Amino acid sequence: MISDNGINSIKNITILGSTGSIGVQALDVLSSGNFNYKINFLTANNNIALLEKQTQKYNPNAVVIANENSYYEFVRNTSFKGKIYCGDEAVQAAASDDKNDLVISSLVGFSGVLPTIEALKKGKKIALANKETLVSAGKIITNLAKEYNSEIIAIDSEHSAILQCLVGEQISQVEKLILTASGGPFRNTPFEEFQNITVEQALNHPNWSMGSKITIDSATMMNKGFEVIEAFWLFDVDYQQIEVIIHPQSIIHSMVQFIDGSMKAQLGLPDMRIPIAYSLSYPERFSYDFPRMNLSEIGKLDFYEPDMQRYPCLQLSFDSIKSGGNATAVLNAANEICVSAFLNRKIRFVEISQFINNALESIPHIDNPTITEIIDSDKETREFTNSLISRI
């Protein structure tokens, strides 16, 4: 990384969720030779075997293990000589550590919200892969970023694409943001067969290799709904200026249409290392040996309007952002519970959206929630949704 004064200075980087898919790939990108870095903190939840390997390779200043049982097992068996901390508060402390120059937030679910808030309060640059942070608390997060002069760079390929399309442009001249979606594994499945979709089928994404939770979100298109909400907060446009289009090849990651009718698109292979690399070097670009795209081999690019009957979670996302307040926090919390229940074979695939809709209709609406009220809404939604599922 090049600092403002042009000196290739060492950057202290903390990775929240280093053992997850994004965390692993971020470390791979950092190892490319383009970055002069030192790992400050690595945090994990349960995958202590991988965390042990990461400590040996990257020699962080310290690690945090959120799960208490995993923490004690790690302490008993590790050869790591640095400091070892435990618990959610320790994750927040790692995120806000004074040494951090950059915090990569790749935690899964609502657990990413409070660490991001603490990092923002210290004016840290955030490379954000945790969708739920902006989905649950977008207004609070963006206000804190402005107040503390913190920068948020989204790692999602779609938001990275929009950011790249907006370089040199004015947001006031944007007419529409267009997010592309693969359509997941069921874009061609007859709708009458949705009742019998299995966990294994839902986890079989046609283009991307991701963790189980985000893969299910992609199958329901909730993932794309979350990205709509993120784009709303990241780029300061009206939600009616955001459109989703099915693009099976996953080559165009997003497009921006301007008020003069022109359009920009960002293309790339479905490789998360590319947007990760851009988030780490932005506004610069570095050279990598990632696979290159051959358009003649791709041959054609297809686009379809999404069917909201097939993807009700996408419609619920648009409805939630229109409602505002704590509705998106309720959406996220209910979705986390439902995805977990589906993965554990407690509910059917089609019931995910049904239980989420029930929660949105049942949890009291708050127009301008504080972070405490968002946390309370999250907790209330989880309890409510779990109680519904337990009655099946």
For 390, counting Cβ atoms within 10 Å of its Cβ (0-12 exposed, 13-18 middle, 19+ buried), the class is exposed
Determine the pLDDT at residue 208.
58
Say whether both 148 and 173 belong to one domain: no
Residue 88 and residue 211 share a domain: no
Q: Residue 294 sits in which domain range? A: 159-322
Report pLDDT for 206.
66
pLDDT of residue 15: 98
CATH code at 66?
3.40.50.720
Q: Is residue 6 situated within a structural domain?
A: no
81 and 144 part of one domain: yes
**Is residue 384 one of the residues assigned to a domain?**
yes
Shared domain for 81 and 110, answered yes or no, is: yes
Q: Based on the domain organization, do 301 and 364 belong to the same domain?
A: no
Tell me, yes or no, whether 220 and 311 share the same domain: yes
The per-residue pLDDT for 213 is: 86
Q: What is the CATH number of the domain that holds 341?
A: 1.10.1740.10
Tell me how far apart the alpha carbons of residues 180 and 249 are, in angstroms, rounded to a whole number.
Answer: 10
Q: What is the pLDDT of residue 108?
A: 84
Give yes or no: residues 150 and 244 share one domain.
no
Predicted model pTM: 0.91
pLDDT at 209: 59
**Residues 114 and 187 occupy one common structural domain:** no
Structure confidence at residue 7 (pLDDT): 40
Domain boundary among 112, 139, 154: 154
User: What is the model's pLDDT at position 2?
Assistant: 33
- Report, as ranges of residue numbers, the positions in the chain whose pLDDT lies below 50: 1-7
Neighbours of 174 (CB within 10 A): 19
Residue 191, pLDDT score: 87
The one-letter amino acid code at 183 reads: G
In this predicted structure, what is the pLDDT of residue 343? 95
Three-state secondary structure of the chain? CCCCCCCCCCEEEEEECCCCHHHHHHHHHHCCCCCCEEEEEEEECCCHHHHHHHHHHHCCCEEEECCHHHHHHHHHHCCCCCEEEECHHHHHHHHCCCCCCEEEECCCHHHHHHHHHHHHHCCCEEEECCHHHHHHHHHHHHHHHHHCCCCEEECCHHHHHHHHHHCCCCHHHEEEEEEEECCHHHCCCCHHHHHHCCHHHHCCCCCCCCCHHHHHHHHHCHHHHHHHHHHHHHHCCCHHHEEEEECCCCCEEEEEEECCCCEEEEECCCCCHHHHHHHHHCCCCCCCCCCCCCHHHHCCCCCECCCCCCCHHHHHHHHHHHHCCCHHHHHHHHHHHHHHHHHCCCCCCCHHHHHHHHHHHHCCCCCCCCHHHHHHHHHHHHHHHHHHHHCC
Q: Which residue, 296, 322, 348, sits at the end of a domain?
A: 322
Number of domains in the chain: 3
In a domain, 4, yes or no: no
Structure tokens at 390: 């337990």
Q: 295 and 177 in one domain?
A: yes
Q: Return the pLDDT at 1.
A: 34
Model pLDDT, residue 222: 96
Shared-domain flag, residues 244 and 288:
yes
Tens digit of each residue's pLDDT (9 = 90 or more) over 352-388:
999 999 999 999 999 999 999 999 999 999 999 999 9
In this structure, the answer to whether residues 364 and 314 fall within a common structural domain is no
* 358 & 308 share domain: no
Pair 384, 359: CB distance under 8 Å: yes
